[in-house]
Amino acid sequence: MDAKEAGPGTRPAGRGRRRVPSGLMPYALIAPALLSLLLVLGWSLFRNAVISFQEFGRRQLISRTTEWTGFDNYVHVLNDPRFWSTVVRTFVFMAANVLLIMAVGTLLGLLLNRLGRKMRLVLSVSLVLAWAMPIIPSVTVFQWIFDTQFGLMNWFMRTLGFSGYEQHNWFGSGTSTLAIATVLIVWMSVPFVALNLYAGLTTISGEIYEAARMDGASPWRIFWSVVVPIMKPFFLITTFLEIIWVFKAFAQIYALNGGGPNRASETLPVMAYIEGMGQQQFGVAAAISVLTLLILLVAMSFYFRLILQQEKEQS
């Protein structure tokens, strides 16, 4: 029955439906994901914050009692010299990793853009395999490479003629342990930067490169005057993501040597885990994790400001 044949009390099809305003549609689409994040992460953050104000140890777990201590856990953590040395160690570790990741990833991205089809495919597959490797198996491989007795690195150093590498303990100090963790994290993170940079470089017209070469620009000059300005949003966002990813890195460091020796390779996430699961001081561990989040937010606020300034300049 069409509209002409319909009776006076019949509405045309579709007229009774309520449509979501176009301005609210994006928010309606992301609402389920946001609600899931609030339920899963929001509740966990809330409970962690609550525990940070409690004396929460083995005795409280057994007796199921709640003992509120106010800011005592925060005072204890902030007065602990180990916490501040761990903060410095975490930022140095993060800065070294992010610089290496961005530098090596950028070089590999530029190489992908210059290679032929076959070699580009080989390198891309190699990067994807490194990227897809699970963390714990990767740590196990690196532990074997740097093993004291059967490690590949000791054999390699002896082959090159270096002395003192007969059963050398690469995990004997916090610095060397974090250096190995840096190699591991860089190896696992570089593919993300390289592949995304290559994808961005494919959007740059070849005519721009050709015009720069006709003006006598060297490859180094082309990179700084052509590639960097065009790919600046990519570098800013990728650096931001890598800072967060490295700052919260836990499994790579803890699985290598448990934060040792003598907790000398601890970062803030590892310290929170050891205080909680190792020392059974869950209130102190919760306070460390809250302070870690606050420190990261304060540090990233300066980076947020830089990104916003870049967006204003582009607009």
Given this model, what pLDDT does residue 315 score?
61
- The structure tokens listed for 183 are 């190699």
Q: What is the pLDDT of residues 110-155, one digit of tens each?
A: 999 888 889 999 999 999 998 888 999 999 999 999 988 888 999 9
Does position 300 have pLDDT exceeding 90, yes or no? Answer: no
d(CA 253, CA 287): 21
Given this model, what pLDDT does residue 227 score?
86
Instruction: Report the pLDDT averaged over residues 215-226.
Output: 85
d(CA 166, CA 127): 33
Q: What are phi and psi of 54, to 5 degrees?
A: -125, 155
Q: What is the pLDDT of residues 156-184, one digit of tens each?
A: 898 888 888 888 889 988 899 999 999 99
Q: What are phi and psi of 158, to 5 degrees?
A: -65, -35
Separation of first and last alpha carbons in the chain: 53
Q: List the beta bridge partners of residue 68.
A: 54
Given this model, what pLDDT does residue 189 score?
92
Q: What percent of the chain has pLDDT over 70?
A: 91
d(CA 107, CA 211): 22
Q: What is the pLDDT of residues 19-46, one digit of tens each?
A: 656 677 888 888 888 888 888 888 888 8
Domains and CATH numbers, the chain: 52-314 (1.10.3720.10)
Residue type (1 letter), 56: F
User: Which pLDDT band, with edges at 50, 70 and 90, does 237 fall under?
Assistant: confident
Q: What is the pLDDT of residues 63-80, one digit of tens each?
A: 788 788 889 999 999 999
Q: CA dihedral defined by 258, 259, 264, 269, rounded to 10 degrees?
A: -170
What mean pLDDT is reported for the chain? Answer: 85
d(CA 110, CA 201): 8
Given this model, what pLDDT does residue 87 score?
93
d(CA 74, CA 78): 6
pTM over 0.85: no
